[in-house]
């Protein structure tokens, strides 16, 4: 996903002369093409993510569309105060990019596990929260954020995530879009971020007929689209590489409750959440190993209605 992101960011920078990229002393072998093409709009601020957020806010106040780029926790948890006060309070045009969401950097331990940031960030006013599911969605989210006036958070995978969408498809996203991947059955799986390919493969390998929806936007969601999906299924399964508290599944539960109160949903479906339990995993291993350890797996019995 990070390659799709940087390649599309280059295309956006060719169109928008105000697009600026800040990095926290990483991204080597990824960001060089951007820095070589636009040296006057690129800055490595060093290992100083809180300062990077402040610099981004200053540049945005001068009219730039600023992207900050770092690993998982570092542009998010480390500088939550700066995101809240410097960026979002002033509704500035800053895009916070975290590469390696979830357990993408599993081998480096809990300090590099980005598994709580969505729950924190989606409570901050003005901030759009995005988690594309494959490189095609990452490319589309990059284009969307480059044209959206206001703060955004983009959680992308590390590298090598396979395409789920057709390789020739061009996604044009509007704020809050929900993407239909498969349609069928009384059960629907809602996926956000890099769990999408796992969901599609699981259904295919187990000959399970179910609807699959990808949520590149966690905040906001198109509630009218969501109401239609909820109303046409008997059971929903949410899956995310994030803590259960405050994450994607929580956002779906909250939206379902709101739709019920507003009279836009009459018979709510049953809902099964698959997310990280309330614990740290202080072990090193592959991303797949940590996902299994945390129970981020579908089971055939979940599709029984």
Note down pLDDT in tens along the chain; length 305 residues.
899 999 999 999 999 999 999 999 887 778 999 999 999 999 999 999 999 999 999 999 999 999 999 998 999 999 999 999 999 999 999 999 999 999 999 999 899 999 999 999 999 999 999 999 999 999 999 999 999 999 999 999 887 788 999 887 779 999 999 999 999 999 999 999 999 999 999 999 999 999 999 999 999 999 999 999 999 999 999 999 999 999 999 999 999 999 999 999 999 999 999 999 999 998 889 999 999 999 999 999 999 99
Residues 43, 120 within the same domain: yes
Q: Residue 273 falls within a domain, yes or no? A: yes
Residues 205, 133 within the same domain: no
Q: How far is CA 188 from CA 55, 199, 205, 294, in A?
A: 43, 11, 17, 22
Q: Residue 161 falls within a domain, yes or no? A: no
Pick from 155, 266, 176, 173: which is nearest to 226 by CA? 176
- CATH number for 209: 3.40.50.920
Q: Which two tokens stand for residue 131?
A: 């988690």
Residues 8, 150 within the same domain: yes
Residues 107, 204 within the same domain: no
Residues 140, 207 within the same domain: no
Q: Which helix (H) or strand (E) holds 254?
A: helix 248-261
Residues 199, 122 within the same domain: no
How many separate domains does the chain show?
A: 2
Q: Residue 117 falls within a domain, yes or no? A: yes
For the full predicted model, state whether its pTM sits above 0.75: yes
Asked whether 214 and 196 are in contact (CB, 8 A), the reply is yes
Pick from 205, 127, 140: which is nearest to 177 by CA? 140
Residues 150, 191 within the same domain: no
Residues 141, 230 within the same domain: no
Domain interval for residue 267 = 179-303
Q: Residue 166 falls within a domain, yes or no? A: no
């Amino acid at each position: 996903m990070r390659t799709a992101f940087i390649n599309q960011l280059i295309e956006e920078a060719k169109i928008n002369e105000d697009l600026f990229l800040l990095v926290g002393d990483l991204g080597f072998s990824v960001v060089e093409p951007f820095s070589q093409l636009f040296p006057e709009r690129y800055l490595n601020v060093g290992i100083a993510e809180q300062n990077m957020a402040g610099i981004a806010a200053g540049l945005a106040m001068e009219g730039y569309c600023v992207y900050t780029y770092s690993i998982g926790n570092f542009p998010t948890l480390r500088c939550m105060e700066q995101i809240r006060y410097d960026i979002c309070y002033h509704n500035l045009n800053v895009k916070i990019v975290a590469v390696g969401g979830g357990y993408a950097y599993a081998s480096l331990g809990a300090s590099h596990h980005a598994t709580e940031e969505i729950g924190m960030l989606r409570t901050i006013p003005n901030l759009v929260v995005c988690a594309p599911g494959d490189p095609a969605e990452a490319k589309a989210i990059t284009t969307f954020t480059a044209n959206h006036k206001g703060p955004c958070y983009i959680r992308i995978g590390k590298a090598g995530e396979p395409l789920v969408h057709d390789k020739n498809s061009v996604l044009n996203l509007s704020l809050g879009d929900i993407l239909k991947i498969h349609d069928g059955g009384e059960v629907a799986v809602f996926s956000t971020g890099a769990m999408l390919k796992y969901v599609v493969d699981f259904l295919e390998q187990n000959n399970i007929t179910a609807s699959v929806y990808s949520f590149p936007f966690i905040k906001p969601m198109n509630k009218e689209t969501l109401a239609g999906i909820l109303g046409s299924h008997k059971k929903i399964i949410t899956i995310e590489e994030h803590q259960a508290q405050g994450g994607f599944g929580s956002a779906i539960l909250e939206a379902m409750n709101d739709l019920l109160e507003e009279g836009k949903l009459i018979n709510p479906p049953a809902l099964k959440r698959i997310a990280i339990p309330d614990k740290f995993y202080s072990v090193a291993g592959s991303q797949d190993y940590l996902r299994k350890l945390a129970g981020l797996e579908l089971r055939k019995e979940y599709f029984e209605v």
